[in-house]
Structure 1
């Protein structure tokens, strides 16, 4: 029987009375018997074209936006038409998995840069006081029942709510998750009951998707406007100019942080480039001092965000201070490889203009030799930032090798040329283009001297590279170690 629901008024109870719906899927290839399939019209594929495949795999009901008269669906399979498939997928997933976020204290972290580090560090801090915490980041998803590599920064709604349900089943009390602007706009997080949200910063990124910085900021701000007054609050970077946008329609308590102002105020006491001794003042006036074992001012901001969140969650100051010195390195984020002899190599995910600037600025502080940079531009993403990153690279690095990142369907040489156009704005800048990433890394590692630092940026923790139809299983770290192994006299790595 086909049921058309075109004005957003629906009676979902009819779909559940028989108890036949066991889960939700938005990818026809991942449908399991008993699933409800939601057909989503995406950038490349239209899920409505795969309804028969979904039913063949066991879907017992289909939800979509197309008119029932145009849908190719086997007789006897219910079809429900909705105004927004993505919005429906979120609500249905929440229902299918028992409204799991309502049974957890959920912290969402959003912003351009620093999300992953904040998620990992806050999870570490909460676990240090014996709380059971699930974590969803762009590196890995840890539910308490399993740990798997991440697929997206923010999972599609069915997988997100399923992961939250696994956390509940594992006895978790807290969940810390990355929230991307895509995830917000595409309703992946619309039915997650957030208790606390963190804003790190906002700089140029995803303008291919949002169109403007104003739209990008508005998307991020939806996370905070969704917090009700009785929630724990919003933790905002007071030193970022977009903090006011995040706060504008937020009715929850607001906690600010920063080095120049904020309820949580940091002060750098001293730094050797690799470690930072700092003093932190909490909103209640308490202060503590500690050593952050990770370089860069941007990591000081990440720490202050985490401290603000931990304080809002009720962690005592001694627990916060005690966890500071043990904050872990995050895969692909300032991952340092130091051979006995030869250059220091850093693998980092920096793929935005601001992240690249911050990384190069940090490297300058602890490098006595030359700074080498090997990087590229991601395909099918904001093309405008490519020349900007080329300019930053040529302005701040001594040696630049432009290579291939994940070009997807774009021509790698064209991406490299767009980066080079920005580099040429720097007088006297010389950049090599070596499209094979392994060869580019090898060239930098072999030509760099003792005391130099080689930065490999853009891919970070990623375990594969996508070039057209090719999916190459290789990490930047693996390529670095192979190159170091070919360096004469490198010694132990």
Structure 2
């Protein structure tokens, strides 16, 4: 494709003659550059692509785009190379989001489960549905491991281009929105699940975090729609902002005024205008999953899908990796692995366990190093409010030392009812200890990591929470068979 065609409507400056340059690929990684590639230099969180421009030219780049004033042949200066990258890649692939239905899902909690529920609804109604999210990139019936909740612009546009699916659901993080990773994507619908204290090490304040989430609605197609949980205070604020802009807004919540109402007194949803409730038999427990299901139901109504088939689809979703996965131990002991990592996430996860009839709840969790410390006290309070015993342990350390994190965990234990908990820094031994403490009717709840792999090596040699739980289970089974 001709470079000048790619740059159409892009505000840029260049001292070079760009007339005869043909682009055969685009990348923001200098190591991926081949002959004829356009390299876009981006100043990232940990490295600056401008430092690799010479490498890109050495590898065969036909031109380079950047933000700095630099003296290179075939160098093009723009004001925002992150934003331009998405626009160019979308144009290079023929704007792939225009030839299919694309639904974006954002929010602190519930993005992944909501996405899988929507996928199930479309598939039950005869559509092929791709999914790009935290757990996997599922395109054309094939799954690839996910590297980020929302991939970079180059990968995202390529996935949309390769997709022959009727629908693609994309989990869109606040980081992705702020970093222009979804630039060039046009959404038919955008979902706002909720907002909780999270990523404030990156966003600085809840208002800034909210404003980053709100960016998702700028990517709506001209007739696109917004689906919002307006029981959430930030969701209500989003609704008011979008209505002022003339955007079609649909809502879910517990009041009858919502387009889909979640019943608090029974497992059902009520669609506005319907003469009766729709009964749910969700395999995923908890009020928060009824909210997730409400979004799936609302999508079904907007696209005029078969309502009963959509209810069946919601009921068919058995599990989502790392989301309330249950392992049943001998002696009527249940162990849950869940991704909950915010105060609201703790509240919903632990209360769901309580509603399931737990005699006692033993909660294993930790805090991520260098990540938003403002949510740690609310997380401790939510755990103490619902669980009977806690074990503080390591989560990802990132750049924090193990000694520093251990000191912090001990400090939290001393400040918050030390008799009701303990500190075991080795995550696998903490999980093992919690299961050993459990008695008949007890539930052990392990939160924070979900499906994710450990960053550190631990004593039991396992790589995930679920793998650790299964290893402890096997040890118990082996011991029982020998005794």
Question: TM-score, normalization: structure 2?
Answer: 0.89
The secondary structure found in structure 1 opposite 2:435 is helix
Measure the CA separation in 2 of the matches of 1:22 and 1:246: 41
The Cα shift of 1:461 comes to 0.8
Residue 362 of structure 2 contacts residue 389 of structure 2 at CA under 8 Å; is this kept in 1?
A: yes
The Cα shift of 1:428 comes to 5.5
- Describe the superposition over 1:460-486 as per-residue Cα deviations: whole angstroms up to 9, x where unpaired: 111x22249xxx871111111111222
The Cα shift of 1:29 comes to 3.3
Residue 224 of structure 1 contacts residue 246 of structure 1 at CA under 8 Å; is this kept in 2?
A: no
The secondary structure found in structure 2 opposite 1:325 is helix
Residue 363 of structure 1 contacts residue 453 of structure 1 at CA under 8 Å; is this kept in 2?
A: yes
Specify whether residues 235 and 215 from structure 1 end up closer, same or farther in structure 2 by C-alpha distance, changes over 3 A only.
Answer: same
Q: Which of these residues, 469, 473, 477, is aligned with residue 484 of structure 1?
A: 473
Please name the residue that 1:238 is paired with.
230
Please name the residue that 1:383 is paired with.
373
- Describe the superposition over 1:139-168 as per-residue Cα deviations: whole angstroms up to 9, x where unpaired: 10011164111111111111110111111x
Q: Which of these residues, 138, 148, 154, is aligned with residue 150 of structure 2?
A: 154
Please name the residue that 1:224 is paired with.
217
The Cα shift of 1:429 comes to 4.3
Please name the residue that 1:165 is paired with.
161
Structure 1, 304-313 or 109-118: larger mean CA deviation:
304-313
Specify whether residues 246 and 132 from structure 1 end up closer, same or farther in structure 2 by C-alpha distance, changes over 3 A only.
Answer: same
Measure the CA separation in 1 of the matches of 2:299 and 2:408: 40
Please name the residue that 1:64 is paired with.
66
The secondary structure found in structure 2 opposite 1:113 is coil
Residue 390 of structure 1 contacts residue 419 of structure 1 at CA under 8 Å; is this kept in 2?
A: no
Q: Which of these residues, 98, 101, 108, is aligned with residue 102 of structure 1?
A: 98
Q: Which runs of 5+ in 1 are unaligned?
A: 271-276
The Cα shift of 1:376 comes to 1.1
Measure the CA separation in 1 of the matches of 2:298 and 2:274: 11
- Describe the superposition over 1:327-351 as per-residue Cα deviations: whole angstroms up to 9, x where unpaired: 2311000011113446211111111
The Cα shift of 1:238 comes to 2.0
- Aligned residues: CA RMSD: 2.7
Please name the residue that 2:251 is paired with.
256
Residue 90 of structure 1 contacts residue 158 of structure 1 at CA under 8 Å; is this kept in 2?
A: yes
Specify whether residues 491 and 40 from structure 1 end up closer, same or farther in structure 2 by C-alpha distance, changes over 3 A only.
Answer: farther
The secondary structure found in structure 1 opposite 2:450 is coil
Specify whether residues 467 and 408 from structure 1 end up closer, same or farther in structure 2 by C-alpha distance, changes over 3 A only.
Answer: farther
- Describe the superposition over 1:19-60 as per-residue Cα deviations: whole angstroms up to 9, x where unpaired: 742332222334455432211111211111122333444433
Between Structure 1 and Structure 2, the one with more helix by share is: 2
Q: Which of these residues, 113, 119, 124, is aligned with residue 120 of structure 2?
A: 124
Residue 25 of structure 1 contacts residue 38 of structure 1 at CA under 8 Å; is this kept in 2?
A: yes
Measure the CA separation in 2 of the matches of 1:385 and 1:30: 39
Please name the residue that 1:45 is paired with.
47
Specify whether residues 63 and 447 from structure 1 end up closer, same or farther in structure 2 by C-alpha distance, changes over 3 A only.
Answer: same
Specify whether residues 126 and 33 from structure 1 end up closer, same or farther in structure 2 by C-alpha distance, changes over 3 A only.
Answer: farther
- How many residue pairs align between the two structures? 467
Structure 1, 30-39 or 137-146: larger mean CA deviation:
30-39
**Pairwise mapping of residues 4-43 of structure 1 onto structure 2 (< 5 A)?**
9-10=11-12, 20-43=22-45
- Describe the superposition over 1:174-233 as per-residue Cα deviations: whole angstroms up to 9, x where unpaired: 1111011111111111221111111111111111111111111111112124435522x1
Please name the residue that 1:456 is paired with.
446
Q: Which runs of 5+ in 2 are unaligned?
A: none
Measure the CA separation in 2 of the matches of 1:17 and 1:190: 26
Q: Which of these residues, 309, 317, 327, is aligned with residue 327 of structure 1?
A: 317
Measure the CA separation in 1 of the matches of 2:149 and 2:247: 25
Structure 1, 217-226 or 79-88: larger mean CA deviation:
217-226
Residue 264 of structure 1 contacts residue 280 of structure 1 at CA under 8 Å; is this kept in 2?
A: yes
Q: Which of these residues, 168, 181, 189, is aligned with residue 182 of structure 2?
A: 189
Measure the CA separation in 2 of the matches of 1:406 and 1:33: 39
Measure the CA separation in 1 of the matches of 2:433 and 2:304: 50
The Cα shift of 1:278 comes to 1.6
The Cα shift of 1:367 comes to 3.7
The secondary structure found in structure 2 opposite 1:195 is strand
Q: Which of these residues, 77, 84, 91, is aligned with residue 81 of structure 1?
A: 77
Measure the CA separation in 2 of the matches of 1:24 and 1:415: 41
The secondary structure found in structure 2 opposite 1:455 is strand
Runs of 4+ that moved beyond 4 A: 14-19, 283-286, 419-425, 488-492
Q: Does 1:353 align with 2:343?
A: yes
